[in-house]
Structure 1
Amino acid sequence: MKPVSTGSEPEVVSVGWALASLSLSMLLASLGTSIANVGLPTLVQAFGASFQQVQWVVLAYLLAMTALIVSVGRLGDLLGRRRLLLAGILLFTLASMLCAVAPTLGMLIAARALQGVGAAIMMALTLALVGETVSKARTGSAMGLLGTMSAIGTALGPSLGGVLIAGFGWQALFLVCVPLGGLTCALAYRCLPAAGQARDLERGAFDPLGTLLLAFTLLAYGLAMTLGRGHFGLLNVGLLVVALLAAGLFVWVEARVAAPLIRLALFRDAALSGSLAMSALVSTVMMATLVVGPFYLAHGLGLETFAVGLAMSLGPCVTALSGVPAGRIADQFGVQPMILAGLGAMALGCLMLALLPASLGIGGYLGPMVITTLGYATFQTANNTAVMSDVGAEQRGVISGLLNLSRNLGLITGASLMGAVFAAVAGDLSTASAEAVASGMGFTFVLATGLVLMALLAALLSQQRRWRTLDSVA
């Protein structure tokens, strides 16, 4: 079942199966991010550990994925994306087995870090391989499908994890990924295009020092934003300083090596820089809905745990349902109008959440959430399409890595920044009144509205520069 065919119908079938393999790869990486969270209380009992120790089961995966996602994208450009994606899927599957049989918490955390490395490869190269799988005219639809699968994986994790723990124990959280990984690997091997995947790794073509410095920078930043659960101390500040120094050293090295990991000239492209900045900003905002939402629903509206879970599942469901239609609309009408429309909807939804009167109850929360999430899905699909459609074949891996990195950094920053803002306004959440929680919610989304407006301004400036370029060419 090869993707190259002389007839039009077999080619369509092959492209469909190739997209199925990429979709499963994105689903697995997203599922790995969310499925372990629900098992943390069980792991505390199973290993006799504290919550602070057990939370590294989640952090090890997230930090490994964030620190390496650009580097593995560059390796894919050099070694072949299909080849490296297959290795990443196998690594993810093997690490899932190691997680399930881990005899100690330390072994489990190490296996989760290894699983995060596999997830970094899968996320970076899945987007990069879209350009080798579908025509440019269908890129938006493909990006929408991948966004849908990512949302499904994120939404499915907690509910599926709860069922698996109840029926089979915590080991099932990781064993479920083994058959899915095997299926994904088989499909990718049979269906993904091999054309253009082999490139010689010439001496000096890879930048090991830059790779180590970038990974160290991102690791230090990730730790600074996640340790202390939003409460900044001297350790967090020290890690931020280390991250800044390492980032400066990384830039200095990249400007001097013959084959840099990231060509700094890429960031002179205002459209690319703007897209990465917008992605980070909106991801920061979306994390606010995941961090603040449960507290507002439970303490502000007094909902039971089951009702909170149902309400929180609405956002991922909206994203899953709107991803493919948003991609098709972007293919038909262009990505720039869709970027502006998505950001406009996000700004409106966040403003409604900021002004939300508690007297409206759950309906007053879910309505703005639908608008915000729909805007996010529209923006994300159009923004990814805009970036990946114009990237040369030799840079697809590293640019895809940068796109995923901007999203991950936004999520990490949002978890810390938005959580800290909410806690500062609402006060001690164990004793805070419903009014205090509502005030914290409102203030947090005032900030979120400002961040989305910054992204909207960047999009408008990018559109204005594009019009000027077209006028000068004409």
Structure 2
Amino acid sequence: MNLTPHAPRSRSGLVGALALATLLASLGTSVANVALPTLAHELGAPFGRVQWVVLAYLLAMTVTAVAVGRLGDALGRQRVLLGGLGLFTAATLACALAPSLAALVAARSLQGVGAAVMIALPLALVRDVVPEARTGAAMGLLGTTSAVGTALGPAGGGLLIAASGWQAGFVAMLPLAGVAIVLTWRGLGDEPAPARSGARFDVAGALVLTAALVAGALAMTPDAVPQVGAGPLLVGAAVLVALLVAIERRTAAPLVPWGLLRSRALSGGLLMNLLVATVMMSTLVVGPFYLAGGLGLDEAAIGLTLAVGPVVSALTGVVAGRGVDRAGAGAMTTVALLTMTAGAVLLVVLPPAWGLPGYVLALVVLTPGYQLFLAANNTAVMRTADARRRGTVSGVLSLSRNLGLIAGASAMGAVFAAATGSVEVQGATVASISAGMQTTFLVATVLLAVATVVSLAVRARAAVGQ
């Protein structure tokens, strides 16, 4: 494959397409989160069942993350990105037209497959399009558009849901998806012909992984299938994981190229990415229920509140990327994690004392730290990738992020539900919801502290040349 960066005449259009694809994938997550309380009320579904509107999207992204990276390496990254955008657009329309919760969850699964392409491949394409000296700034731009999507989802979605119902949030994404398709289509002529790959896709491993993830997520939301219970589901998930390990050891084309994980820098970056994503999804899943049940806000006010942090992140994204280019990805990763830890502590301490202003102030600290982490960690991980395996490495990076998002939506959601003492969270008392929020972010603080220790360990090993 000819890996010479694209000519300057096409570079800005390609970067614009990548940024818009990243924004849409983020919108796909955040616009659904803000609708959860409304869906629970209108459909009469418990918290655990409504969570699957988010979990279905995340599970689909997780299972297909590495596969789409490999497809990009083999078939052409822009070509695969165009296909992902088309699938995402069709599935978004299906979400808007869904007549029931089951149909919505099915459509969200297809939307998640498209989103997997739109998250993984832009990270790889940046390295084809942008000079290495400006990689951090480009990653900062993608982080900015991701933050914009995260902000627009709650803010715009909250307003649209309040005015026109939960379907309006999905309808609003369709024009943006159309623009992204056009920009990507126009850039196809500039993409070099991909090298053919003889590697096979591990279908059996993908199916077992899907089953294991679904069983694990169901175990964390036992009210979704009360007739089964959490115990049997956890046992089933454990058996499936053991089967997956056996399959992966024997296959010639494992889902995750385990040889890549021998790099301390890469494996450490993936672990940190997983832990941080778990915390950030907690803010999107737990936040709406705390703001609605704990502070009594309506959908529009919830959306605007959740948008505060991402707006600040969007304003600081490119600056954060430039800081990574100047100060180094490793140092800035540690700074970002320390900032996020401080923000998580504030989420435990300030809202009970100051109410909404305290919650907003904590978000203003937490989310810019996340923005800096994305720019720094993504840069560090992608710099470890061989040119011909950038799609695969970006897929593994997306896989770690998606596993963290699933953990945030299921495990951290279970922590919140357990701490409130009520399966029907929307019917819990104000005091119990506040206690649940505090407990959730106390756990989040511990996770971020672990990620900080990992960052320091990775830097220490790099300093001694190991």
- The two structures have a TM-score, normalised by structure 1, of 0.85
Aligned to 2:80: 84
Aligned to 2:213: 218
Is the contact between residue 158 and residue 302 of structure 2 (CA under 8 Å) also seen in structure 1? no
1:168 Cα deviation from its structure 2 partner: 6.0
Aligned to 1:337: 331
Aligned to 1:208: 203
| Distance (whole Å) between structure 2 residues aligned to residue 373 and residue 88 of structure 1 | 28
Q: Which residue, out of 114, 117, 122, partners 2:118? A: 122
Shift of the 245–133 alpha-carbon distance from structure 1 to 2, 3 Å rule, reads farther
1:218 Cα deviation from its structure 2 partner: 3.1
Mapped pair 1:458 → 2:463? no
Shift of the 353–275 alpha-carbon distance from structure 1 to 2, 3 Å rule, reads same
| Distance (whole Å) between structure 1 residues aligned to residue 69 and residue 77 of structure 2 | 8
Deviates more, 1:443-452 or 1:121-130: 443-452
1:463 Cα deviation from its structure 2 partner: 0.6
| Distance (whole Å) between structure 1 residues aligned to residue 415 and residue 54 of structure 2 | 23
1:134 Cα deviation from its structure 2 partner: 0.8
| Distance (whole Å) between structure 1 residues aligned to residue 349 and residue 37 of structure 2 | 35
Shift of the 334–349 alpha-carbon distance from structure 1 to 2, 3 Å rule, reads same
* 1:53-94 Cα shifts (integer Å, max 9, x gaps): 766544433322222222222222222212111111112222
Q: Secondary structure at the match of 1:184?
A: helix
Shift of the 228–320 alpha-carbon distance from structure 1 to 2, 3 Å rule, reads farther
| Distance (whole Å) between structure 2 residues aligned to residue 295 and residue 175 of structure 1 | 24
1:456 Cα deviation from its structure 2 partner: 0.7
Mapped pair 1:347 → 2:356? no
Is the contact between residue 312 and residue 368 of structure 2 (CA under 8 Å) also seen in structure 1? yes
1 or 2 for the larger relative contact order (CA 8 Å, sep ≥6)?
A: 2
Q: Which residue, out of 229, 237, 241, partners 1:247? A: 241
- The two structures have a TM-score, normalised by structure 2, of 0.86
Aligned to 1:418: 412
Aligned to 2:194: 198
| Distance (whole Å) between structure 2 residues aligned to residue 453 and residue 75 of structure 1 | 36
1:250 Cα deviation from its structure 2 partner: 2.6
Percentage identity across aligned positions? 51
Shift of the 366–110 alpha-carbon distance from structure 1 to 2, 3 Å rule, reads closer
1:271 Cα deviation from its structure 2 partner: 1.3
Mapped pair 1:310 → 2:307? no
Letter in 1 for 2:382: M
Shift of the 255–194 alpha-carbon distance from structure 1 to 2, 3 Å rule, reads farther
Mapped pair 1:62 → 2:63? no
Shift of the 44–354 alpha-carbon distance from structure 1 to 2, 3 Å rule, reads closer
Mapped pair 1:365 → 2:359? yes
Q: Which residue, out of 148, 155, 179, partners 1:152? A: 148
Is the contact between residue 162 and residue 299 of structure 2 (CA under 8 Å) also seen in structure 1? no
Aligned to 2:375: 381
How many pairs are equivalent?
459
Is the contact between residue 3 and residue 191 of structure 1 (CA under 8 Å) also seen in structure 2? no
Q: Give the unaligned 5+ runs of structure 1.
A: 6-10
Letter in 2 for 1:432: T
Aligned 1:183-332 pairs, distance under 5 A: 183-191=179-187, 194-202=190-198, 204-226=199-221, 228=223, 235-298=229-292, 300=294, 306-332=300-326
Larger Rg: 1
* 1:301-338 Cα shifts (integer Å, max 9, x gaps): 56566544433221221222222211111011110110
Shift of the 259–385 alpha-carbon distance from structure 1 to 2, 3 Å rule, reads same
1:103 Cα deviation from its structure 2 partner: 5.9
1:407 Cα deviation from its structure 2 partner: 1.7
Deviates more, 1:185-194 or 1:450-459: 185-194
Deviates more, 1:140-149 or 1:103-112: 103-112
Is the contact between residue 254 and residue 264 of structure 1 (CA under 8 Å) also seen in structure 2? no
Cα RMSD of the aligned pairs, angstroms, is 3.2
